[in-house]
Amino acid sequence: MSNLKIRDVRVITTEPDGIRLVIVKVETNEPELYGVGCATFTQRPTAVVAAVDDYLRPFLIGKDPADIEDVWQSSYVSSYWRNGPVLNNALSGVDQALWDIKGKLANMPVYDLLGGKARDAAAVYVHSSGRDPQEVEDKARAFIEDGHHYIRVQTETPGYATYGTHGAHPDVGLQTGPRVVTDRVEDADPDTLYAHPAGIFEPRPYMKSAVALFDHMRSTIGWDIELLHDVHERIPPIMGVELAKEVEGHRLFFLEDLFAPEDNDYFRIVRQQTSTPLAMGELYNNPHEIVPMIKDRLIDFIRVHISQIGGLTPARKLAALCEAFNVRTAWHGPGDTSPVGHAANLMLDLNCWNFGIQEYAIFGERTKEVFPGCPEVRDGYMWPNGQPGLGIDVDEGLAAKYPFRERAYGGAWGAVRRADGGVVRP
């Protein structure tokens, strides 16, 4: 039996660039040996903090940090009623931190513990969003000049709120409120970045604007760049079938979140009618929810948010299942995945043969300072630094300089509504 024990489990909260990040630090009885993990659930971060402090910390102190599988399984069932984003993110913070510790003990990056690298770097996609197709094109060209080959494109629908863009003018519609200013964190106004779009959404105008955007991008940017698009489950399922068929000729790299998890069976209909590649998974909390999607080959890319399902331990198993059915990985990686979470994503990106693409958030300078070792992206690829464990740390002194800011409704997503006042899924 190992003499190494978990001495303490602490939560570090910080908001350097307008997004609330939650990090778990697992300390051991060996001086200076600790690990860090991402537990960020930015819409409900204080609930995750309570789950770690009140329940996981006392449950884990004294356990052997080397026993990652046992820690995960025993922690997972310790609440009896299990699953869900709060408990899973709390568990993820611990799980990623334990992998970080194990890598430091072995003096190896985590990808070496998983079997080594299947590639040298991970291709990433970035976000090009704008008020109109021309603005999207201009931003995309800047990304292309920087060496990016995969670009997610989103445009405003005039007069309506649209996911991934500025949204509707705040004077339009039944509900008003602040808007997202940009997808690039370093360009954002810190007084508005934390808000999500509020306004009116209608599916038909959105579909018309999305198809017009793809027409524009293919006629200007051409066919050598891979384009992606996120529907974000907002349109009625039968209209989703129509959209997937209509965009087949644009040859998207993938169409994301065409349906909500509640409407999984509609993927069977789409598969019968179009070859548009489909990505799905960021709203899943339990890998078992997505097993039918994988085994029946209803999707092409798994978009799971690694901390949402409980960390690296379940994610690596899910990736192996996906490999058996030729489903590629595309782990969720927006700005509310902390740099620690991006480092964890990269470990699997490098190790898994069935890697597809990695979503990438462009972090602000303050975030990079708080998280030394933040994964580097150049020429359209995310590169490992070769350091042991996850290869990243958190500067607690700097992190403390950026405490969580007060938010209306605790920072919940602003409600987007149909013209009749009904709430639209986010």
Active site amino acids: 163, 232
- Per the CB < 8 A criterion, the answer to whether 48 and 86 are in contact is yes
* Beta strands per DSSP E along 103-183: 122-130, 150-155
Angle in degrees, 0-180, between the axes of helices 68-77 and 312-324, rounded to the nearest 10? 100
In the sheet that holds 6-14, the strands lie side by side as: 6-14, 21-28, 34-38
Angle in degrees, 0-180, between the axes of helices 203-220 and 237-246, rounded to the nearest 10? 20
What are the residues whose beta carbons fall under 8 Å from the beta carbon of 419, sequence distance 6 or more? 173, 174, 200, 202
Q: How far is residue 360's CA from residue 377's CA, in Å, rounded to a whole number?
A: 9
- Per the CB < 8 A criterion, the answer to whether 51 and 90 are in contact is yes
For 409, phi and psi rounded to 5 degrees?
A: 55, 25
Rounded to 5°, angle at Cα 95 from 91 and 98: 145
Distance in Å from the first CA to the final CA of the chain: 48
Give residue 326's region: left, alpha or beta (phi > 0; psi -120 to 50). Answer: left
CA 141, 144, 148, 151 torsion: positive or negative?
Answer: positive
What are the residues whose beta carbons fall under 8 Å from the beta carbon of 383, sequence distance 6 or more? 120, 121, 375, 376, 377
Q: Where are the alpha helices (DSSP H) in 286-338?
A: 287-295, 312-324
CA 293, 338, 414, 418 torsion: positive or negative?
Answer: negative
Q: How far is residue 114's CA from residue 321's CA, in Å, rounded to a whole number?
A: 15
Q: How far is residue 413's CA from residue 248's CA, in Å, rounded to a whole number?
A: 31
- Per the CB < 8 A criterion, the answer to whether 102 and 65 are in contact is yes
What are the residues whose beta carbons fall under 8 Å from the beta carbon of 14, sequence distance 6 or more? 20, 21, 23, 370, 394, 399, 400, 402, 403, 404
